[in-house]
Amino acid sequence: MFSNPSQVWSWWLDGRQQKDVVLLFSITIVAISWISWMINKSRKGTTLSLPPGPRGLPLIGNLPFLEPDLHRYFTKLSGIYGPIFKLRLGNKIMVVLGSPAMAKEVLKDHDTIFANHDKMAGALVATYGGSDIVWSPYGPNWRMLRRVCIQELLNSGSLEASSVFRRQEVRRTISDLYAKIETPIDIGEKLTQTIFNSMTSTLWGSTLKGESETGVAAEFRHAMGAMGSLLAQPNISDLFPTLARFDIQGVERKLKDVMLWFDRIFDNILDQRLKMDKEVEDEKCKSKHGKDFLNILLKIKEQGDPKTPLTMTHIKALLMDLVGGGVDTSSTTLEWAMAEMIHKPETIKKVQEEIEAVVGKDNILEDYHLSKLHYLDAVVKETLRLHPPNGFLIPHTPSESCVVGGYTIPKDAGVFVNLWAIHRDPSLWENPLEFDPARFLTPDNKWDFRGNDFRYFPFGSGRRICPGISLAERSITFVLGSLLHSFNWRLPEGTKLDLSDQFRGVIKIGNPVVAIPTPRLSNPNLYTQISN
């Protein structure tokens, strides 16, 4: 949720927010004289060669002209103004990059200058003041959080140790689908539930049980929904940073109330875990419960680092990052993959044949099989090329004015990288609009997620590349492979797939994908096998 690059602006695009539009105009008209004076004062004596871009209205800039599907709108403007252009959104300058060369200048050549993300008032509240890895400013705390994530949480050993939790949730989904064979399934809804359960199990494992687990999961999802609604509301603090301290609309205040809700949930989980660890004296038994991420984080906190210690606030913020940033993007990617493959049934057949050769039809797909499933890996890569869920990288901001592509990007501007456009650029990709996993099966196998090739970098590049790549890749591939290995899928009679998309924070498929599963494994007992 909080790694979404455009939620703060998407409110303008929703026709249901007309009352908020009126509020915005009323307040900005009152403040126009003072704000204009501040703008002129800050620019006095400067001669910046800003990127080109469409002309806007006084004070509010290009806000009224934004189109609902930002990814397509930005791509259209790139065709008019070139691979780097600017927009004025209120008092904020936003620069959009739409080519590998421009992305490389920002994310590699000037990586240090652009090492910070563009701060948004609501996102900072929702992450304990930017105590997480996404919004924490570049510096010692961020480096500590990065080290914790890469070296401790998301290394191959930790992911392998926590795979039991993800496996259990996927097996529950397979069992549930088996109980509903020959019944139309809303794939997106089912995948969102699966990824959410898989993520929370990976984070705190078996800390909660029975009714407690079910109740906390429901409460957590409800709180996430409330927070998402607030983050999508218009916030003058983001359009006019000089007014941020006044919190005119009370968005930050309401978010603080929601954060109290999350605090109660996290405190409950932490109390249960600490109680569990205290009661378990046998180290062998203790290690049985110690494969989840929370166990790792609490151990790091206990060990302590006198210079940059990991605090309980950091732990809560990291948990928020992993759930908020991983659930919606992963489930959206999976729904797109299923949609494209149902549209091209031969791709499903190839995946199923590959899994049968590696796993067989009388066994269950396991995490350790994934490294041998090259076509399935190519399917995931092609889905992330054609349908990167966010469409844009989290906006960066320069710590000082910097020349990019011959134009000056002023300090504190927001910088979007239009992944969606780059991944579909016909000068970079052959038949870019076609879903073709084979393009990622080249002999040199050069395509990866490391962000070194600026034709394909769905997880970003440079210092701020997404630290959760390994977890996302494993989770998406395992869920997709399990669904295709366990079932055949067909559309309900008389229905058609709609592969159009729409921008709603993430780039979602136009209409939900509804399909009917049919079992294909040889032993029915495999469908009800939840644990080892």
Q: Looking at the predicted structure, is the pLDDT value of residue 283 above 70? A: no
What token pair was written down for 295? 């166990």
Residue 37 burial (C-beta neighbours within 10 Å; 0-12, 13-18, 19+): exposed
Does residue 2 lie within any of the structural domains?
no
- Reported as half-sphere exposure (CB side, CA atoms, 13 A), residue 393 has a value of 35
Task: Specify the number of domains making up the chain.
Answer: 1
CB 162 within 8 A of CB 470: no
Q: Which of 293, 216, 231 is nearest to 262 (CA)?
A: 216
Beta bridge partners of 402: 409
Q: Measure CA 434 to chain center.
A: 24
Does residue 230 lie within any of the structural domains?
yes
Q: Which of 279, 277, 323 is nearest to 302 (CA)?
A: 277
Contacts by 16-22, CB closer than 8 A, 24 or more apart:
17/233, 17/234, 20/233, 20/234, 21/234
What token pair was written down for 4? 């979404």
Does residue 1 lie within any of the structural domains?
no
Q: Looking at the predicted structure, is the pLDDT value of residue 13 above 60? A: no
User: 15 pLDDT band (50/70/90 cuts)?
Assistant: very low
User: 286 pLDDT band (50/70/90 cuts)?
Assistant: very low
What does the pLDDT read at residue 221?
A: 81
Q: Looking at the predicted structure, is the pLDDT value of residue 284 above 90? A: no
Q: What's the rounded mean pLDDT across residues 446-460?
A: 94
What does the pLDDT read at residue 47?
A: 55
Does residue 373 lie within any of the structural domains?
yes
How many residues does the structure list for the chain?
532
- DSSP code string of 236-260: HHHH-GGGGGG-TT-HHHHHHHHHH
Q: What's the rounded mean pLDDT across residues 314-326?
A: 92
What does the pLDDT read at residue 393?
A: 94
**What is the side-by-side order of every strand in the sheet holding 396-397?**
84-89, 92-97, 414-417, 396-397, 116-117
What does the pLDDT read at residue 11?
A: 40
What does the pLDDT read at residue 5?
A: 43
Q: Of 295-309, 335-349, 461-475, where does mean pLDDT reach its minimum?
A: 295-309
Q: What's the rounded mean pLDDT across residues 460-486?
A: 96
Q: Looking at the predicted structure, is the pLDDT value of residue 67 above 70? A: yes
What token pair was written down for 33? 């004289």
Q: Which of 471, 427, 447 is nearest to 383 (CA)?
A: 447
Q: Looking at the predicted structure, is the pLDDT value of residue 32 above 70? A: no
For 374, list phi and psi in degrees, rounded to 5. -75, -35
Q: What's the rounded mean pLDDT across residues 479-487?
A: 98
404-440: per-residue pLDDT in tens?
999 999 999 999 999 999 999 999 999 999 999 999 9
Beta bridge partners of 396: 117, 415
The domain containing residue 141 runs over which residues?
7-528
Q: Of 228-232, 420-424, 445-449, where does mean pLDDT reach its minimum?
A: 228-232
Does residue 329 lie within any of the structural domains?
yes
What does the pLDDT read at residue 532?
A: 63
Q: What's the rounded mean pLDDT across residues 99-111?
A: 98
Q: Which residue has the tokens 């084979």?
A: 438
What does the pLDDT read at residue 243?
A: 87
82 Cβ contact list (under 8 Å, min separation 6)? 52
What token pair was written down for 99? 């080519």
CB 202 within 8 A of CB 162: yes
- CATH number of the domain that residue 164 is part of: 1.10.630.10
215 Cβ contact list (under 8 Å, min separation 6)? none
Does residue 231 lie within any of the structural domains?
yes
Does residue 149 lie within any of the structural domains?
yes
Does residue 260 lie within any of the structural domains?
yes
- Interatomic CA distance for residues 252 and 258, integer angstroms: 10
Q: Looking at the predicted structure, is the pLDDT value of residue 386 above 60? A: yes
- Reported as half-sphere exposure (CB side, CA atoms, 13 A), residue 2 has a value of 30
Q: What's the rounded mean pLDDT across residues 359-376?
A: 95
Q: Looking at the predicted structure, is the pLDDT value of residue 209 above 90? A: no
In the chain, the percentage of residues whose pLDDT exceeds 90 is 70
Q: Could you write out the three-class secondary structure of 170-230? A: HHHHHHHHHCCCCCCEEHHHHHHHHHHHHHHHHHHCCCCCHHHHHHHHHHHHHHHHHHHHH
The mean pLDDT of the chain is 88
Q: Looking at the predicted structure, is the pLDDT value of residue 2 above 60? A: no
Q: Are strands 84-89 and 92-97 parallel, antiparallel or unpaired?
A: antiparallel
What does the pLDDT read at residue 325?
A: 85
What does the pLDDT read at residue 21?
A: 47
Q: Looking at the predicted structure, is the pLDDT value of residue 56 above 80? A: yes
User: 129 pLDDT band (50/70/90 cuts)?
Assistant: very high
Q: Looking at the predicted structure, is the pLDDT value of residue 296 above 70? A: yes
Q: Of 163-167, 176-180, 283-287, 391-395, where does mean pLDDT reach its minimum?
A: 283-287
Q: Are strands 407-409 and 414-417 parallel, antiparallel or unpaired?
A: unpaired
- Interatomic CA distance for residues 519 and 166, integer angstroms: 21
Q: Of 269-278, 283-292, 415-424, 458-467, where does mean pLDDT reach its minimum?
A: 283-292
- Interatomic CA distance for residues 292 and 302, integer angstroms: 16
Q: Of 190-194, 226-230, 406-410, where does mean pLDDT reach its minimum?
A: 226-230
- Interatomic CA distance for residues 477 and 472, integer angstroms: 8
What does the pLDDT read at residue 289?
A: 47
In the chain, the percentage of residues whose pLDDT exceeds 70 is 87
Q: What is the pTM of this model?
A: 0.90
Q: What's the rounded mean pLDDT across residues 236-261?
A: 90
Beta bridge partners of 503: 507
